[in-house]
Structure 1
Amino acid sequence: MGAVLPLLALRAFTETGRLGSLKAAAESLGVTPGAVSQQIRLLEERIGVALFVRGRHGVYLTEAGARVHPGLLRGFDQIEKSLSTLESLAVEKTLTISTVPSFASAWLVPRIGRFSELHPEIEVRVEASAKMVDFKRDRIDVALRHGLGSYPGLESIRLMAPVLLPVACPELLAQGPLIREPIDCLNYPLLQDGDRADWVLWLQAHGVQVGDEARRGMSFEEDLLLLRAAAAGQGIALVQDTHVQEDIDSGKLVVALDKPWPSRFAYYVVTRPDATQRPEVQAFIDWVVAEANSMATLPAL
């Protein structure tokens, strides 16, 4: 047959024999049915043997086709496994972490250097995105997500449960009325989360029954934007303590009233069940859990 194997034609033959349909084989290979048919015809012409017969409900292997199909099917399966192994070898020392932008900026990125110092052999990639992670499709090893911890088919470990704190820039509070009780926050513009729900819940948790006045003000989908607006003196923001510590330490923001309110959501480490078999993944999980456990609470004013 010569040194050059007709791999495209053999692949078209194998998929068509497996699925019993030119159309289904074409969809599996990402080509047109005409292209599959042409490759099979070229293969039959090359070897001088018919491989399929057409029937009312598809195509069927001839006796000759049926004799060689199982071996070719096993061969292509082995090729795919070998290719997957090569790809794994190429990225085995790379750890890709996905988390939401606000958590990445305020909590993970300032700390991740400590992990790299402990494990200089691991190349770390941080992807900041609010979209859901599809572990079957995306090349993500670990996701850090804010939720209730229910992730079907995945392993999740609880990291921390943030609390909500009202914060503002010092200049705004110095020029405005004194805040002694939660209801006093209504004397300032309120910077809202995307659902305009946090202020209402925080006030109600502290015994303040409010109406629409607690839902007014500019709204932002991300805590990062809330923090920037608060630092610019545009109002009081109600944000997670894990997101605001750096701005408090730098003096950009202060806690307007030291009455935190626990959130029912928490941050979780989320992975595939088999991911911890990789030492790089287990090393990161051990580190991030220890880092979360060692977190200091925000200082009271």
Structure 2
Amino acid sequence: MNPFLPLLALRAFAETGRHGSLKKAADAMGVTAGAISQQIKQLEDRLGVMLFTRTRYGVRLTPAGEKAHPALVLAFDQIARSLDVLETVNARPALTVSTEPSFAASWLVPRLGRFTARHPEIEIRVEATSQLADLQRDRVDIAIRHGLGRYPGLVSERLMTPALLPVAAPALLRNGPAINNPADCLAYPLLQDSARADWRMWFQAAGVAGDGQAERGPSFDDDFLLVRAAIAGQGIALVRDLYATEEIALGRLALALDTPWPTDFAYYAVTHPQTAARKTVQQFIGWLKAEASGECLSD
């Protein structure tokens, strides 16, 4: 066999098998799906082996493809990590942090200057996205995730457990019916999270049946939008306290009822085990934990 390695075709094979989709593989490599298909065909012609079969949901590895794919993916991941090492030899220390836009805008970014003042030598890059970072392969050092903390194969450290607060614009509450108990909130429009679950669970915890009313109202996929809708007087929102505290202090929001509801979900700093050992990562996570607990770090 020709000793020349068709690296582009092999990468197309690795990414297509990883994603089970020509389009997703193309997105990962920054080319077209047609180019991916062509590279795979050339590789199959060269090897004399079919690597994929088409299904109604995308493509699936053949038995021959399944044998070669895991080792090839591992090899490309190792190449990517080696490239990262080479790029950092003479580079300024940098950390890429991925988190949801609402957390970045409302909590992380306003505090980031304090970390930079303490560690001006470390460059922080914030990726604010609703897409879940893949710490096995994306160039992300730390992901701040909101969940239960169970992330197999990764290292997670708890930062904070927010509580949900029922909040609304002061004028809306001033001009509307009095709210003395959770059931009184049903007299107002309810602003919903994307799953329409928070209000329903809040009412259940308070012993209020709701009769389906708990799931009515406009929904928003991002907490920042939920807060903005509440500030605009569109209804009452259940939002995490870390997003509402400043708005309440500024008078843009008011508590509809002083009944914070603790949730099972918390914020975690999540890293790959190899990344977790880096000093810069430990410094940033230590700073995150101190900020979350309201402590001041000393040198």
Q: Same fold (TM over 0.5)?
A: yes
Deviation of the 1:34 alpha carbon: 9.9
Matches within 5 A, 1:80-229: 83-89=83-89, 91=91, 93-229=93-229
**Paired residue for 2:294?**
294
Structure 2 residue runs without a partner (length 5+):
16-35, 50-77
Alignment of 1:58-73 (within 5 A): none
How far apart in 1 are the matches of 2:97 and 2:11? Answer: 36
CA distance in 1, matches of 2:226, 2:47: 65
Q: Distance in 1 between matches of 2:293 and 2:264?
A: 18
- When residues 178 and 96 of structure 1 are mapped into structure 2, their CA distance, relative to the original with a 3 A threshold, is same
> Which whole-Å deviations, capped at 9, do the CAs of 1:218-262 have from their partners, x for residues lacking one?
111111111111000000001110111221121110111000111
1:35 to 1:172, Cα distance in 2 relative to 1, 3 A: closer
- Structure 1 residues 210 and 278: CA distance shift in structure 2, 3 A: same
* 1:13 matched residue in structure 2: 3
Question: In structure 1, the residue corresponding to 2:3 is in which secondary structure?
Answer: helix
Separation (CA, whole Å) in 1 of partners of 2:3 and 2:261: 64
> What's the counterpart of residue 263 of structure 1?
263
**What SS does the corresponding residue of 2:5 show, helix, strand or coil?**
helix
Aligned to 1:276: 276
Structure 1 gaps, min length 5: 1-11, 37-53, 58-77, 296-301
**Contact 1:189 1:236 survives alignment (8 Å):** yes
SS of 1:127's equivalent? strand
RMSD across aligned positions (CA): 3.3
How far apart in 2 are the matches of 1:24 and 1:214? Answer: 52
1:152 counterpart letter in structure 2: P
Which amino acid is 2:125 matched to?
A: R
Q: Evaluate the alpha carbon distance shift between residue 150 and residue 25 of structure 1 in structure 2; reply closer, same or farther with a 3 A threshold.
A: closer
The number of residue pairs the alignment matches comes to 245
Contact 2:92-2:123 at 8 Å conserved across structures: no
Contact 1:15 1:25 in 2 (8 A): no
How much has 1:33 moved relative to structure 2? 8.4
> Could you tell me how far apart the structure 2 residues matched to 1:125 and 1:35 are?
39
1:64 corresponds to which residue?
Answer: none
Structure 2 length-normalised TM = 0.73
Distance 2:164 2:178 in 1: 20
CA deviation string 1:252-289 (max 9, x = no partner): 10111000111111110100111133221111011101
Secondary structure, in 3 states, of the residue corresponding to 1:136? coil
Q: Which has the greater radius of gyration?
A: 1
Cα distance in structure 2, aligned partners of 1:245 and 1:144: 20
State the percentage of identical aligned residues: 54
1:188 is displaced (CA, Å) by 0.8
Q: CA deviation at 1:290?
A: 1.2
